[in-house]
């Protein structure tokens, strides 16, 4: 889910699916598929699409703020565990 959130954030910030794809180093069809899956998962349209790109819907604006926090927390958690000594990582 983190990757889908990152793609959604990139689309919102870049204003296009192509821009999001470029930022995330994936193809535009793959970015669109991930965003469509994310919208299906949450049950609402997050981005309004047009010939000129995308912009956040009202729901998307709210979700964007939360997505930024979720991704930041996930990245912080990953950074914390990668600094643990190897013995702490064993079960």
Report pLDDT digits (tens) over 2-30. 899 999 999 999 999 999 999 999 999 99
Q: Which of 4, 76, 91, 80 is nearest to 47 (CA)?
A: 4
**Per-residue burial over 38-66, b = 16 or more CB atoms within 10 Å of its CB, e = otherwise:** bbeeeeeebbeeeeeebebbeebeebbee
For position 67, what pLDDT does the model report? Answer: 98
pLDDT, average across residues 57-66? 98
- Per-residue pLDDT band for 34 (boundaries 50, 70, 90) equals very high
For position 89, what pLDDT does the model report? Answer: 61
pLDDT over 90 at 31, yes or no: yes
Q: Give the global pTM.
A: 0.88
Q: Quick one: DSSP state of residue 42?
A: H
Report pLDDT digits (tens) over 40-56. 999 999 999 999 999 99
Dihedral sign for Cα atoms in the order 34, 65, 69, 19: positive
Count of C-beta atoms within a 10 Å radius of residue 13 = 14
């Amino acid at each position: 889910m983190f990757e889908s959130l990152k793609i959604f954030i990139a689309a919102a910030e870049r204003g296009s699916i192509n821009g999001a794809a470029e930022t995330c180093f994936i193809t535009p069809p793959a970015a669109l598929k991930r965003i469509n899956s994310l919208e299906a998962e949450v049950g609402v349209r997050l981005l309004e699409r047009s010939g000129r790109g995308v912009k956040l819907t009202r729901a998307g604006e709210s979700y964007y703020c939360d997505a930024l926090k979720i991704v930041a927390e996930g990245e912080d958690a990953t950074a914390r565990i990668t600094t643990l000594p190897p013995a702490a990582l064993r079960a």
